[in-house]
Amino acid sequence: MESSNSNNNSNNNNNNNSNNNNNEAIATTSSQGIRSTGHTKWDAMYNHLLDYRKKHNNCLVPNRYKDMPQLGSWVSTQRRHYKMLQEGKDSPLTPQRLQLLTKIGFVWATRDPRHVSSLQCTVLYVVFTSS
């Protein structure tokens, strides 16, 4: 019995260490705009956003982005979750994710992205990142 408990504790510790290592890897690599090593849906979409940013030089994914419609929807969801935080409501957007998106130039408040000039995007970015 005792060896079974010690094995379970060892497994739990290994799982906790593995999760901590994954989270650290995500924060370290993603904060630099490098691909996330995490295996969650959020991490996968973040990586797609990095691809979009590399191709378009911004993070203003249209809501109906024809190359990957789910990315436009995901970006809108991140903005909605940010707005919930601003209103003091519970939100799935963690401080770590907020920081990762902000560091790559994510624009938190925008009108239809197809109609926002690059100058307006820059102003919005400066306003939201200097707070």
Between 121 and 100, the more confident residue is 100
Q: Which two tokens stand for residue 17?
A: 């260490």
Distance CA 16, CA 20 (A): 6
pLDDT of residue 26: 42
Give percent of the chain above pLDDT 70.
Answer: 55
pTM of the model: 0.59
Distance CA 99, CA 88 (A): 18
Distance CA 101, CA 98 (A): 5
pLDDT of residue 126: 62
Distance CA 97, CA 27 (A): 8
Band of residue 64 on the pLDDT scale cut at 50, 70, 90: confident
Distance CA 46, CA 96 (A): 13
Task: Give the residue-averaged pLDDT of 112-119.
Answer: 47
Distance CA 112, CA 116 (A): 7
Chain position carrying tokens 């707005």: 83
pLDDT of residue 110: 82
pLDDT of residue 115: 35
pLDDT of residue 73: 93
By three-state DSSP, how is residue 25 classified? Answer: helix
pLDDT at 9 over 80: no
Distance CA 22, CA 36 (A): 9
Between 110 and 42, the more confident residue is 42
pLDDT of residue 13: 46
- Closest alpha carbon to 38 in 100, 105, 84, 91: 100
Q: What single-letter DSSP state applies at residue 113?
A: G
